[in-house]
Chains A and B, each alone.
Chain A
Amino acid sequence: MKLTGAEILIKMIKEQGVRTVFGYPGGATIDIYDELAGHDDLRHVLVRHEQGAVHAADAYARAGSCVGVALVTSGPGATNTVTGIASAYMDSIPVVIFTGQVPTALIGNDAFQEVDIVGITRPCTKHNYLVKDVKDLARTVKEAFFLANSGRPGPVLVDLPKDVVQSVTEFVEPGKISLKTYKPTYKPNKKQVAKVVDLIAKAEKPLIFAGGGVVLSEASEELTKFSRLTNTPVTASLMGLGSFPGNDPLWLGMPGMHGTYRANMSIGECDLMIAVGVRFDDRVTGKVETFAPNADIVQIDIDPTSIHKNIPVSCPIVGDCKETLTMLNKMVAKADKELVCPERIGWLSTINDWKSTTPLRYEQTEDVIKPQYVIERLNELTDGETIITTEVGQNQMWTAQFFHFDKPNHFITSGGLGVMGFGLPAAIGAKAARPDKTVIDIAGDGSIQMNIQELMTAVESDFPVKIVILNNGCLGMVRQWQELFYDKNYSSTLLENSPDFIKIAEAYGAKGLKCTRPDQVDQTLKEGLSFPGTVIMEFKVEEAECVYPMVPAGRAITEMILV
């Protein structure tokens, strides 16, 4: 069967089970778009900026537990994706990005809209390819999906010169992908896992620290089971939120710079930490020398480079989180000794004391809306089925603190890179993957303007999303640092001029709701949530509100500034 490169590309994308791609056309991809138009079973969502395409694909992958796909043109189309790719890379999200490229004969000539996107994205992709011959196309596409979604997932970019896409070749079905240099270790070493059972039996103050790896390997059930079997409390990184039920008595909340008091104190005091699918980001560890100073640390990760990278570990386990926890649960169930020592009761009550003496707090007064209050009310007024995306800054941290996530893949945020402008396109991607769910972007007035053009995508594509803008009139998180550490020198962080968000919503064909009074918060949320289409709910909130607790950068995480 003779096929063009474009036909092969679409065929291979569909064979991977992809039903939706996010993209933006241009000269170098016009042949692909020409072909795409004829495929009713592969939906193309036209974003309004290529960065949005990658964030949408990223969230699509997370909400749908599949691979997200973005398709953009050469040159500026390709460079516009870099932020999205870097974010997906930091968060280990399986995304495949197809970029158009100038014809092979012109590569290297500074041709119109030529850019070395393979070179540019080398450090922020799991792998990338320039396809020089149409005969390699089918296999490369299949390999790209395989790499993106196996081992530690991540973005893979495939650069497609225009002539390759146009040429015709005999289509050969690529066989099973097996790379001699790439064999991720899924099965953990049994002896190492057995050590964990011994450690847990001895531990008086054990703690589980879960991360994005638990979500990615779909190991939440196993994690929850392990925690309950051994009566071990759980904290989870930003990327791990939802991997353990947020309403469980063993749940401690998120640790780190804006972690809960009890999570940070537990890390300071624990004698055993079982870290599952976390990479010990500096926002979590604070000063590394003081991180979990009394603990034996077990680290379970599929990526060997994550182990010992930031924190010395006494029991490393390379393996898939789900397989490892499954094995561990079996061993725990069969263990012939008592795994919960009597001292454990004291540990749990210490933690409970921390919780009751020093909970997350804020004060809602009568006149000004507190941002935390909006999130708490949102948590109350939605069920556990709602998908939340966020922008970056205070809005993101308050969401992590005050919204309770009970399930994985329901909290989608740019964790590692912290990209302002992530939340709106991500909400669209999540809605595309899960049209049955309500999807809400919790935003700041700064971040929302970074990809606000995607409102058009949401309205047009009929992927209605809800946007909650916590309008504090400033770049809150940076303002907070200035308030606390830079003598209140609010250099360039006060957004004195912002557009009328209600008019913006209306201009894009969405609905806009504005709320300025605490007693109207519920009503606004209810109205926005029940509206079937895309809606912006703008809440005028306290400008000077800070996120607490806060650990100053570089300090021990037990040295928190509290409210």
Chain B
Amino acid sequence: MSCNKYLLSILVDNEPGVLSRIAGLFSGRGFNIDSLSVAKTTDPGQSRITMVTKCEPSIIEQIKKQLNKLINVITVNDLTEKRYVQRQLSMVKVHAHIDKRAEVLRIVDIFRCRVVDVGHEHYTVEISGDDEKLEAFLSLLKPMGIIEIVSTGSIAVARENV
């Protein structure tokens, strides 16, 4: 069976233990979490979890139902088939020997991201964008020698009010 990527936006009570309930549900039932991001919302009593999960189409319904069953989960919004804007933030530490610096900067320029830290041997570049942009960026940087990548999980917002 084929695995698809799903993007879920989950509104939860802002309470201790909620994230552990969700993580526990995934590990206990053998679902996998690709990426996860949690932050507060305009309502201090609620948090927003954006989750990317990869699974078979038959499993995603079960995941959504199981999430909904948790008492602290307020809504589960599956954005996958909807129109949404998605972003992920990465910081990429890349080798920048004197002879490669210009090339790195050129790529940075093309992708409209920025260098946030400079060392004798490296640059750290901050980039945000959707999956595609980040992938393209990394594939171009790779020949320069990537030292480390630190990324947030995806966050996403639906285009229409849903």
Contact = CB atoms under 8 A, between A and B. Distances in A.
A309 B58 CA distance: 9
Contact of B69 (A119, A180, A305): A305
A308 interface: yes
A527 B120 CA distance: 94
Contacts of B17: 118-119, 122, 130
B28 interface: yes
B35 interface: no
A126 B68 CA distance: 13
Contact of A181 (B58, B62, B71): B71
Interface in A176-190: 179-182
Contacts of A181: 13, 71-74
Contacts of A119: 17, 20
Contacts of A305: 62, 65-66, 69
Contact of B71 (A118, A182, A304, A309): A182
A118 B72 CA distance: 15
- Chief secondary structure at chain B's binding surface: helix
Given A304-B65, A305-B62, A308-B62, A122 B21 contact: yes
A309 B13 contact: no
A174 interface: no
A542 to B, nearest CB: 41
A4 to B, nearest CB: 25
How extensive is the interface on chain B, given as a class?
A: 10 to 19
Nearest to A151: B69
Contacts of B21: 122
A454 B94 CA distance: 67
B130 to A, nearest CB: 30
A82 to B, nearest CB: 15
Contacts of B62: 305, 308-309
Contacts of B103: none
Nearest to B66: A305
Nearest to A312: B58
Interface residues of A, number: 17
Contacts of B25: 123
B72 A122 contact: no
Contacts of B72: 181
Nearest to A147: B71
Interface string B45-86: 000000000000010011001101101111000000000000
B101 to A, nearest CB: 49
B65 A122 contact: no
Contacts of A127: 71
A556 B61 CA distance: 26
Contacts of B145: none
A122 B17 CA distance: 9
A303 interface: yes
A308 B21 CA distance: 23
A491 to B, nearest CB: 30
Contacts of B68: 304
Contacts of B71: 126-127, 147, 179, 181-182
Interface of A: 118-119, 122-123, 126-127, 130, 147, 179-182, 303-305, 308-309
10 contacts: A119-B17, A119-B20, A122-B20, A122-B24, A126-B71, A181-B13, A181-B71, A305-B62, A308-B61, A309-B62
4 closest residue pairs by CB, A with B: A305-B65, A127-B71, A304-B65, A123-B28
